Amino acid sequence: MQLILVAIFSLLIMSCGKHQQTSSGKSGVSIVTKVENAEVLSQSIIEEDLKAIEIFLATKGTVDYEFNSTGRTLITEACFWEKIKVIDFLVKKGAAINLKDKNGLSAEDYGLKNLKIKRTIFPELTISLKQSLVEFSSKNDLVSLKKLLEENPPVNFYLDTVITSQNQYIGETYLTYILKLKLENVLRLVAQPKFEIDPNLKNSSGEHPLTIAKMLNLKNSEKILVKLGARNE
């Protein structure tokens, strides 16, 4: 009798151990099982939970998974909810942008209605804008720059060899770049709140915009940066 009780107790322990290995919390539902649920997968997109989406892709093996109820793929679902981080993530994974849902809409169609989505699914457009922004700024061409800014280009980025041939400025942010060139007129233009330039974004060398402005004795630039919310380093 004692041997039977010991055997039963051992089986219970093994069962609990197996349950703990497959569970992701108190619910006892594995992460894989969670992301295989369409509603939960959609919620992961809404919450921009890239880790959960990554797990789903690893288990399902298809970046163009389609939701049965809507016919949306992962990327069109992300476009529907305007989740730019997820869209960017899926574009880099090779998601097709021309697959249509049950309403006849594809990621491309959503891009026609939303500029941020368009630039995310067509990254070459963003590269072109960055190149023009740097070029017009370096020439202090305020007329062309004003026209370009009407397209609301990205302003928080790092210069690389694709964006500029000025090797000495590789690794600068756009903001630290215009500061080092002492382009205060350009700074006034791009410092408008609607462009949301980050006054605390350091370059790849760890230099803070405000530190650069002080080092170069750019008093007006200092005031602009502080007004934007730059913090003393």
Of 70, 90, 121, the one marking the end of a domain is 121
Residues 115 and 26 grouped into a single domain: yes
Residue 11 has pLDDT above 70, yes or no: no
Residues 115 and 141 grouped into a single domain: no
- 3-class DSSP assignment, residue 94: coil
User: How does pLDDT run across 157-215, given as a tens digit for each residue?
Assistant: 999 999 999 999 999 999 999 999 999 999 999 999 999 999 999 999 999 999 999 99
In whole angstroms, what is the distance from residue 52 CA to residue 233 CA?
A: 36
Once rounded to an integer, what is the mean pLDDT over residues 122-131?
91
In 3D space, the residue among 50, 34, 56, 104 whose CA is nearest the CA of residue 76 turns out to be: 104
In 3D space, the residue among 185, 182, 142, 134 whose CA is nearest the CA of residue 160 turns out to be: 134
In 3D space, the residue among 77, 31, 76 whose CA is nearest the CA of residue 58 turns out to be: 31
Residues 151 and 182 grouped into a single domain: yes
In whole angstroms, what is the distance from residue 116 CA to residue 92 CA?
A: 16
Q: Is residue 4 assigned to a domain? A: no
Of 121, 141, 172, the one marking the end of a domain is 121
Of 104, 121, 138, the one marking the end of a domain is 121
Q: Is residue 137 assigned to a domain? A: yes
Q: Is residue 128 assigned to a domain? A: yes
Once rounded to an integer, what is the mean pLDDT over residues 146-160?
93
Residues 83 and 132 grouped into a single domain: no
The total of other beta-carbon atoms located within 10 Å of residue 165's CB is 9
Residues 112 and 141 grouped into a single domain: no
Residues 131 and 96 grouped into a single domain: no
pTM across the whole model: 0.63
How many structural domains are present in the chain?
2
Residues 197 and 215 grouped into a single domain: yes
